[in-house]
Structure 1
Amino acid sequence: MTYNVVALTEELPHARSVIRGLKNAHPDFTIRGASKASVIRLRDEEGRPFVSVEMPQAVEATTDVRRLLGDEAADHLTHNAWWVEVRAPANNPRAAEAAHRFAATLVEHHGGQVWPTEPRWNWAMDLPTGEADHPSALVETEKSRVVAVDSPVVGLSAAIADALAAGARDSRGLQVLTPASAHITHSLRKVLAASGCRWVVEGPGNGHYDGLTGMPLTWEDDLGFQARRDGAPPALAEQRGDPGLALDLHFIHPAEADLRLGEMVEHTTKLMCGEPPTAWGTNEPALMAWDPGRLTDLCRGRAPNPTRVVFSGPGFAGTLNVSRVVEGVKESLSLVAGNADHTALPELLAELPDSFQSLTTHRVPGAADTHYRPVLGGASAPLGLALGPEVVAQVGRAKAMAAPVAAETIGPLWSSVLWYPLGEREPRELWRRFQGLMDHLGQGPT
């Protein structure tokens, strides 16, 4: 998998409608999972997934419909709408057509629209072949799990998140393969930037490339896509767009009964972007209306296991990770915004609680719409680093104030935040200054 089709229906499709739609997609194949109400699969004559249908999700907030599918899809939504995700194997055009037939049948009986409206085939090259046990995987090697996704915007979907979780169990790195025309979201980029993971992009030319760096890749049967060793230069086309502002903030709160998670997300987005999030969810699309109370209940219900949620609002999107640590409850917030003003950072830092640990901020080329494109838009540029009172104490105030980048003290002396603005310079010089600052402080952000 996956070739993705979305049915945006005006009514909640019931189980009989789903089964009827799958029979219309291919009447001779077998339906599995109809009684479990999670993922229903149509399997071919050899038992392989042919069309998979996820449980319908109520569209409480339309932000991600617009962000992932576009303005036209969002503008045509009715008041009561449901998102039904339909997937087919990425290497099977016949299954893609069946997925469209299924979605069309749902819309015929429940109203709404199908996105995209017609089957598409954006792959320019033959896809890797091999065995795969995970239903979302195109192929699995000894060290990697390759998920191919043909979609204009690829997010951190339930299918990709499940493949990532499977990798944590069997020690396989996640590789997401997309056509050259695809974009990925900030939440997915955070996952694929981790060690062992990779965004693999087709072309230009007859090759594959790392979508984050442009590094030419080659296929190795036991490892999946790996960097070429022949010294080939990065080959993705350069294309600059309006930049976005990326923020990463970390907090450690006391583990108190009245702790309300998500408030730092609200505070940050209100000040930096003008308003709080409108949507959240455990994966993309984020379709639930923003509600820190529900978010807190979810995290408490999963504790002591960690929880990752995504959120979005007009012009911004991000990820919140919540985990239990010895000191209390850790919140790590990652945000990219096209409408944020980095000059408001000192004001934000002045209003953060004592649980604040650290902040880093970067200017990211081409990410004004919160998407990342597989092009060399230029290196991201660090803009500054901030340390909270507890981290300043750990480093030592005298040492922190003697850093090679001048610190601005924000707040009262006994509980102050140190803000290190890097100034307006070329990206290479900004990175040099940032690295020198980090070397001096002797630690990375919490």
Structure 2
Amino acid sequence: MPSVDTILAGLFAGGPDLGVSTVAQGPVVQLHAPDGHPLVSIEAPQLVHVPGEAERLLGSQVPLLQGPFWWTEARATTAVPEAARLAGSFAGRVAAALGGTVWPPDAAHTNVVPLTTDTTTLPAPAATSAPALDLVTDQAAVVMQDRPVVAMTTWLTEAVRTAAETDRALQLLTPPHTRLTLPARDVLRAHPNRWVVQDPDCGYYDGLGGAQLHWKDGAFTPVRDEDGNARRAPAFQPASTGTGTGMGERQLTLSLHTTHPATEDLTLGHALEAAFHHLTGRPPVGWNTAEPIALPWSTRQLTDLARNRAPKPTWLAVIGHPDRPAIATLRITRTPAGVEEHATLTLGHASGERPPLDAVAPLAETLAAEHNLTSMLTTLRTARRDLTVPPHFEPLPSPLTFTLGPHAVHDIGLAHAGRPPLALRPVPLGPATRPALHYPLGDGADPTAWTTFQQLSAHLKSAPEASGRPSDR
């Protein structure tokens, strides 16, 4: 770990007149002006054991790092012009002392950066402001990022938490070349959060939905036409060149739900591990509560974390080996039914590469027999192999299969669950007396597959047994 002396040497980037303090319960060190105005926030270093994380999040500009490495981030306030050079000097000094790498490469230097801005004339930071927040209003907490990939970092996690606790929308503002990781996408598409893209030609727009945006009443909101409908930004078009949707790349996604009895010997993460094994041929490589995904895969350690956090939920990101793009999120909750795991696993496939569809049914059978499967939905979509999300239109996923676990089939009733009023018949998995049911929905290109799935869901929910039959779990 970088020594205290090395960190202090970096913090002298602005000379001896600047102050240093800790924020966010300690893991962030802040360099601030004599009047206390924050200038640069520095995240506590974390040791990354997972191969490929630097390249995944920063791109090929970063030299390939062999073995574990320390990762830290320095964020400059946008309110003080000198702050960015202060952050660059801190990073350059630490890298010079330890032999590390700085991104962006041209930001690093070792010069002293004098503070010439009169920070006493600047508005005081909001009392609710997390270090990652660049602007806070009564309606929104805005984070500004200019990097190739925005991930669900500890910075962004803290910003999301702060926004939620203060009843604000988290709004991420980026240039049009930025992409999101899937974990970051999932958080930003949840209401009321928003990904705001600043395009040089059409202004601001929603990077996930395409609506034109403008700054109004303290937040980015949709521009509406005379009928009250949100206008679509011209920049939000399908990609026609480069990698991604224009090149036939696809993503296979599994959304699986397991429910376990809350026993002392319960170990979590095995269902997701089985999914990785069946679909990629190997277990996950790493996990973490944020990105970069830093910790070697361990079901025991993630179970210990979930136990220590209970009854609060635990959110995790999980990743596979770099040569087989696969990333998952896992949410663990304690409910009256037991301990529930909600996992979403996505695999990226190149043009012409066949997704492992034949492995889905055997996986469903394994999950039903060994891992307390409640349900699993499998979808296929045209999207980037590298599992990042660009700020343009991508086709919706198409359902392939749906699996109902044996406990859920029992609760609904086998006769009802096994005979939906549709042109499909489920495949029973496991013992005939208590099977799981595996429903084929489409081939990934069937435009009626979502309608079929909605009709199936409505049928399963309409079972008279579903509301009256007690579970024997």
Structure 2 gaps of 5+ residues are: 109-122, 240-244, 350-354, 463-473
| Match in the other structure for 1:336 | 346
**Cα distance in 1, alignment partners of residues 74 and 256 from structure 2:** 35
Q: Post-superposition shift, 1:268?
A: 0.6
Shifted more, 421-430 versus 344-353: the winner is 421-430
Contact map agreement 2:429 2:435 (CA 8 A) in 1: yes
Within 5 A, what are the aligned runs for 1:128-207?
132=126, 133-134=128-129, 135-203=131-199, 205-207=201-203
Query: Which residue identity is paired with 1:326?
Result: P
| Match in the other structure for 1:107 | 95
Taking a change above 3 Å as real, the CA distance of residues 392 and 66 of structure 1, as seen in their structure-2 partners, is: same
| Match in the other structure for 1:283 | 290
| Match in the other structure for 2:106 | 118
Within 5 A, what are the aligned runs for 1:24-39?
24-25=13-14, 27-33=16-22, 38-39=27-28
Partner secondary structure for residue 18 of structure 1: helix
Contact map agreement 1:202 1:209 (CA 8 A) in 2: yes
Q: Post-superposition shift, 1:138?
A: 2.0
Shifted more, 226-235 versus 171-180: the winner is 226-235
Within 5 A, what are the aligned runs for 1:343-382?
343-352=358-367, 353=370, 355-382=372-399
| Aligned-pair Cα RMSD in Å | 2.4
Taking a change above 3 Å as real, the CA distance of residues 194 and 82 of structure 1, as seen in their structure-2 partners, is: same
| Match in the other structure for 1:417 | 436
**Cα distance in 2, alignment partners of residues 251 and 310 from structure 1:** 17
Within 5 A, what are the aligned runs for 1:291-440?
291-314=298-321, 315-339=325-349, 340-352=355-367, 353=370, 355-403=372-420, 404=422, 405-424=424-443, 426=445, 428-440=447-459
**Cα distance in 2, alignment partners of residues 326 and 342 from structure 1:** 34
Give the count of matched residue pairs. 422
| Match in the other structure for 1:86 | 74
Contact map agreement 1:380 1:427 (CA 8 A) in 2: no
Deviations 1:212-267 (A, max 9, x none): 12122222224x12222214234213111411112111111111111111111211
Taking a change above 3 Å as real, the CA distance of residues 205 and 35 of structure 1, as seen in their structure-2 partners, is: closer
Contact map agreement 2:257 2:342 (CA 8 A) in 1: yes
Shifted more, 371-380 versus 86-95: the winner is 86-95
**Cα distance in 2, alignment partners of residues 46 and 361 from structure 1:** 55
Taking a change above 3 Å as real, the CA distance of residues 37 and 15 of structure 1, as seen in their structure-2 partners, is: farther
**Cα distance in 2, alignment partners of residues 302 and 154 from structure 1:** 27
Q: Post-superposition shift, 1:105?
A: 0.3
Partner secondary structure for residue 188 of structure 1: helix
**Cα distance in 1, alignment partners of residues 35 and 437 from structure 2:** 62
Query: Which residue identity is paired with 2:415?
Result: A
TM norm structure 1: 0.88
| Match in the other structure for 1:57 | 46
Partner secondary structure for residue 24 of structure 1: helix
| Match in the other structure for 2:468 | none
**Cα distance in 1, alignment partners of residues 371 and 98 from structure 2:** 51
Partner secondary structure for residue 11 of structure 2: helix
Deviations 1:411-430 (A, max 9, x none): 22223221222222646422
Q: Decide which structure has the larger Cα Rg and report it.
A: 2
Shifted more, 167-176 versus 90-99: the winner is 90-99
Partner secondary structure for residue 413 of structure 1: coil
Is the aligned partner of 1:219 residue 2:238?
no
Contact map agreement 2:48 2:292 (CA 8 A) in 1: no
Contact map agreement 2:270 2:371 (CA 8 A) in 1: no
Is the aligned partner of 1:261 residue 2:261?
no
Query: Which residue identity is paired with 1:421?
Result: P
| Match in the other structure for 2:250 | 243
| Match in the other structure for 1:48 | 37
Taking a change above 3 Å as real, the CA distance of residues 229 and 396 of structure 1, as seen in their structure-2 partners, is: farther
TM norm structure 2: 0.83
Partner secondary structure for residue 324 of structure 1: strand
Partner secondary structure for residue 73 of structure 2: strand
Partner secondary structure for residue 118 of structure 1: helix
**Cα distance in 2, alignment partners of residues 15 and 319 from structure 1:** 34
Taking a change above 3 Å as real, the CA distance of residues 397 and 59 of structure 1, as seen in their structure-2 partners, is: same
Partner secondary structure for residue 85 of structure 2: helix
Partner secondary structure for residue 66 of structure 1: helix
Aligned mate of 2:279, from 272, 276, 281: 272
Query: Which residue identity is paired with 2:360?
Result: L
Q: Post-superposition shift, 1:143?
A: 2.9
Partner secondary structure for residue 338 of structure 1: strand
**Cα distance in 1, alignment partners of residues 281 and 81 from structure 2:** 44
Aligned mate of 1:208, from 178, 192, 204: 204
Query: Which residue identity is paired with 2:395?
Result: G
**Cα distance in 1, alignment partners of residues 157 and 366 from structure 2:** 34
Contact map agreement 1:62 1:74 (CA 8 A) in 2: no
